[in-house]
Amino acid sequence: MSSPLAVVALIGRMVVLFSLLMLVPMAFAWADHDRAEKPFFQALVITLGAGIVLSLTTRRFRRELQPRDGFVLVTLTWLVLPVFGALPLWLALPGLSATDAYFEAMSAFTATGATVLSGLDSLPLSVNVWRCFLTFVGGLGIVVLAVAILPLLGVGGTQLFRAETPGPMKDQKLTPRIAETARGLWIVYFALSFACFVAYRAAGMTWSDAFMHMCSTISLGGLSSHDAGFAHWDSPVLEGVAMLFMMAAGISFAMYFIAWRQRSLRVMWRDSELRAFLLVVLGAVLLVAGYLHVHGVYADQAQTLRHAAFHVMSVATTGGFTTVDYAQWPAFAPVLLLVLGCFATCAGSAGGGIKMMRMLLLMKQTHRELVRILHPSVVNPVVMGGAAVPPRVIHSVLAFMMIYGGSIVSLTMLLLFSGLDLVTAFTAVIACVNNIGAGLGGVGPGSNYAGLTDFQTWVCTFGMLLGRLELLPVLVLFTPQFWYR
């Protein structure tokens, strides 16, 4: 049986640690002398105080996590921390409602990239830093970070890692100890982040812009400090850097870790999921570029290829950056981009969606069933990486896809019930559940989510949470069996 107070005890310590992250935007506020220095200090004090109170009042309930505790703690973490993440935004931006502040924080924390804010260029530097920095923290998972440090707090983290890690192969460990695994993933994450930061700075960004866009790129969060996004610079070099690191972040961080330990890149190329990811993205770039050329969207072929490549990479990896309003392209192209964002990234990456691994397993299982129709007695297991995939994994993928489809339909119907038009409602749900950011219609790349009502905003917020935790860890809490002894 799950113990709520034991979970609350851990939440309290996470809130304390989370409050310290506010020192980063505070440092920028102090250096830039912007008006958000006081709101961030107030938010830090409130967050730190709340965390200390929660920790002290529940300290006698601390104990080793049970499997059910992991699911409760993961979901509560992603619900509670955005509350405190929204606090400095609410304090620093007059007129921003509590609903919109929470939406903005959840969007950043889940690395979705949807926003209700405009006039980003005139916002205090520290506010933009905080939005982008939250995507960095949430990119690989605040809970994976907690797994790495939980042993220092006297609490094991295996159940947390299994509950939060994206993808169908959650039980695979890269090292014998789960905490070492989490630290190894963060080493990869920080190494890519440092390289991205240096590359952006060398390509012409200021130090602050390089830091903010590094955070959004490696996390595939897509938030920017400029309303125009990457069009602010109109630089093919910067766009090339962004594409390179969005692609890198769309690949499983575990593959980098394994390649580093084996001192060989062969293990990466032998991975069928990675090969499929690269082939799908390359094929989509050529298809979109050819389609735009045939329809005469851009007169120059180089410009056509440039915009096609950037937006295919951006949306397919759920990075969400833009240089043009691709919703104005002929309908096939923007719809294809959203479809790619639903599945293209690798399991274990910073990307959202159902992941390429599940898509490959689903295709192989479909082929298997077609063969069995013709040859009922044939032994034809689903094989990935030279090994037969266990039936429980296949069943998990099939259940996931059914729940995924049901969630998309249910949330879309809620938005339609609230009065939203079909294109905006459906693509907003697709964009939020898959952590893509922009949809089409009223939430397209040329606009934002500010036009939604509070009810519609909360539906999209819940969609982002579902997508970031890949549905099952959240929805399992609503089953009666979860709460039985």
358 has which bridge partners? none
If we measure between CA atoms, which residue out of 156, 181, 182 comes closest to residue 65?
156
Distance of alpha carbon 289 from alpha carbon 175, whole angstroms: 42
Do 27 and 124 contact (CB within 8 A), yes or no? no
Distance of alpha carbon 396 from alpha carbon 168, whole angstroms: 8
How much is the CA Rg of the chain, to the nearest whole Å?
22
388 has which bridge partners? 383
Helix (H, G, I), strand (E, B) or coil at 431: helix
Predicted pLDDT at 476: 82
Cα dihedral sign for 170, 171, 177, 178? positive
Predicted pLDDT at 158: 44
Q: What is the pLDDT of residues 46-75, one digit of tens each?
A: 999 999 999 888 877 766 667 677 778 888
Do 449 and 443 contact (CB within 8 A), yes or no? yes
Do 183 and 257 contact (CB within 8 A), yes or no? no
Do 34 and 129 contact (CB within 8 A), yes or no? no
CA dihedral 204, 208, 211, 214 (to 10 degrees): -50
Q: What is the pLDDT of residues 306-334, one digit of tens each?
A: 999 999 999 999 999 999 999 999 999 99
Q: Which two tokens stand for residue 127?
A: 């506010």
If we measure between CA atoms, which residue out of 341, 320, 474, 333 comes closest to residue 400?
474
Q: Which two tokens stand for residue 81?
A: 């921390």
Predicted pLDDT at 64: 64
Following DSSP, what letter does each residue of 185-246 receive, concatenated?
HHHHHHHHHHHHHHHHHHHT--HHHHHHHHHHHHTT----SSTTGGGGTT-HHHHHHHHHHH
Predicted pLDDT at 63: 65
Secondary structure tally for the chain: helices H, strands E: 21, 2
Q: Residue 383 carries which DSSP code?
A: E
Predicted pLDDT at 188: 87
User: 424: how many CB neighbours lie within 10 A of its CB?
Assistant: 22
Find where tokens 């989490």 sit. 182
Distance of alpha carbon 109 from alpha carbon 360, whole angstroms: 28
Q: Where do the structural domains in the chain lie, given as residue ranges?
A: 273-341
If we measure between CA atoms, which residue out of 37, 135, 139, 129 comes closest to residue 91?
37
Distance of alpha carbon 468 from alpha carbon 432, whole angstroms: 9
HSE on the CB side for 342, CA within 13 Å?
A: 16
Q: Which residues contact 392 (CB under 8 A, 6 or more apart)?
A: none
Predicted pLDDT at 242: 96
Which pLDDT tens digits describe the chain residue by residue (485 residues)? 456 777 888 889 889 999 999 999 999 999 988 888 999 999 999 999 999 999 888 877 766 667 677 778 888 888 999 999 999 999 999 999 999 999 999 999 999 999 999 999 999 999 999 999 999 998 877 546 544 444 433 444 444 444 545 555 444 555 556 667 777 788 888 999 999 999 999 999 999 999 999 999 999 999 999 999 999 999 999 999 999 999 999 998 888 888 888 888 888 888 888 999 999 999 999 999 999 999 999 989 999 999 999 999 999 999 999 999 999 999 999 999 999 999 999 888 888 888 998 898 899 899 888 988 888 877 788 887 777 888 888 888 888 899 999 999 999 999 999 999 999 999 999 999 999 999 999 999 989 999 999 999 999 999 999 998 888 778 888 888 777 76
Distance of alpha carbon 479 from alpha carbon 465, whole angstroms: 18
Do 337 and 329 contact (CB within 8 A), yes or no? no
Distance of CA 103 to CAs 129, 265, 484, Å?
17, 40, 33
Ranges of beta strands (E only) in 16-139 are: none
If we measure between CA atoms, which residue out of 322, 328, 324, 323 comes closest to residue 341?
322
